[in-house]
Structure 1
Amino acid sequence: MEMRGVSEKTSSKHPAMLVCSAYDFYPKGIKVTWLRDGQEVTSDVTSTEELSNGDWYYQLHSHLEYTPRSGETIACKVEHGSLPKGKVVTWDPSMPEAERNKVIIGASALVLGLIITIAGVVYYKKKSTGFLFFSVFDKCGAGDQ
């Protein structure tokens, strides 16, 4: 079972859509329910029929169009004969791991670039005017004794 957010604009009524997908189940009968703060959601929900995978197993996709609210909990509940207690997956709106890794790599590259740039400037100044601290003292007159 998998839940994911779909970022494209879904309709003028709701800015977000979640998709709950159940894969590789047999037999065909399955029930997918959306929960908002523990309460069943029935409006703005669409589901596919059980789709055959061609290998005796089935899949189903349920879509929830919604307007996110701060602090709410959205979950998808799946009930099937192979799941005695059912299964609930709660939506985690934080950045997906792949996106988080891209941000970390980008930030690390930026920091490394800044370090290399600063080291280059220090090296250039040292080569062109002598050691930095002595050149500052010389300009202030502290080296004339």
Structure 2
Amino acid sequence: MNLSLQLLLLLTLTVRTALTGGYYHYGTSECLTSSSDLTDVEYIRTSYFNKDPYARFNSTVGEFVGFTEFGVKQAKYWNSLPYLQEMRGTLESYCKHNLGLDFSSVLMKAVRPRVELMSEQQPSGAHMSMLMCSAYDFYPPAIDMYWQRDGKKVTTDVTTTEELADGDWYYQVHSYLEYTPRSGEKISCVVEHASFSEPMVYDWDPSLPESDRNKIAIGASGLVLGIILSAAGFIYYKKKSSGEWRPHRV
């Protein structure tokens, strides 16, 4: 799957000026593009009175266009001023400059997901089992996650959530596979993301649940420590009983 980034980026600057009687005159400046090379970037400056636009400059058109009787007159006036050349230069000085910074510092950064694969107990007690593959703390949000069974893509009994925003520029996503275990089979979760040069494959080890493996590891560590302490105590006892060890006299 091609995970090329396709974006519609919008930069907006709004300036509001209050007039007498509670009316508002304001303008918006927008920079629009759908490509990272900025070849199709467009600058749009729109002037509003209250919520109604009356004139607009579009870099593609190259001049102001009016939408109301007043707007037509105002556009004609602005088009006759050096202000028009200033607006034409905004595409380079404002849009491409700021969009270039945004792409390089934020949008083109890719953070690798942290992937976890675990089993979930079926509350119904049925013979079907369920695996959950989770990807955490990744960016950008575009990601593809799917299951393989003995190297073949699984197309049924799979449920995948949408990319969930964590609120800190990172995302998470979860995929569930419901299946009946078979002896000798190999089940894998495959993740494709912009931070990977190739799809990453995570194989499920059904030998022991992760919680049980942790308990065994902790128990084994305790057993080894107990053996070491017992051996040290035995050596101390043998030395003391054989007379090789004597306390210093005062």
TM-score norm. by structure 1 comes to 0.66
- Out of 180, 183, 204, the position equivalent to 1:67 is 180
Shift of 1:37: 0.1
Structure 2 residue 216 is the aligned partner of structure 1 residue 100: yes
Please give the root-mean-square deviation of Cα atoms over the aligned residues, in Å: 2.2
Instruction: Measure the CA separation in 2 of the matches of 1:103 and 1:16.
Output: 28
- Stretches of structure 2 that go unaligned for 5 or more consecutive residues are 1-114, 224-250
Shift of 1:11: 7.7
- Out of 119, 122, 125, the position equivalent to 1:8 is 122
Structure 2 residue 147 is the aligned partner of structure 1 residue 56: no
2:110 is matched with which residue? none
Distance 1:67 1:15, change over 3 A: same
Pairing of 1:1-145 with structure 2 (within 5 A)? 1-9=115-123, 12=126, 15-95=128-208, 96=210, 97-101=213-217
The higher-RCO structure (CA 8 Å, 6+ apart) is 1
Instruction: Measure the CA separation in 1 of the matches of 2:170 and 2:143.
Output: 12
Instruction: Measure the CA separation in 2 of the matches of 1:56 and 1:34.
Output: 26
TM-score norm. by structure 2 comes to 0.39
8 A contact 1:9–1:16 mirrored in 2: no
8 A contact 1:9–1:15 mirrored in 2: no
Shift of 1:85: 0.6
Shift of 1:25: 1.0
Instruction: Measure the CA separation in 2 of the matches of 1:82 and 1:41.
Output: 24
Instruction: Measure the CA separation in 2 of the matches of 1:45 and 1:11.
Output: 19
Structure (1 or 2) with the larger CA radius of gyration: 2
- Amino-acid identity (%): 51
- How many residue pairs align between the two structures? 107
Counterpart secondary structure, 1:5: strand
Counterpart secondary structure, 1:100: helix
8 A contact 1:10–1:65 mirrored in 2: no
Distance 1:77 1:10, change over 3 A: farther
Instruction: Measure the CA separation in 2 of the matches of 1:94 and 1:103.
Output: 18
Instruction: Measure the CA separation in 2 of the matches of 1:90 and 1:15.
Output: 19
Distance 1:61 1:36, change over 3 A: same
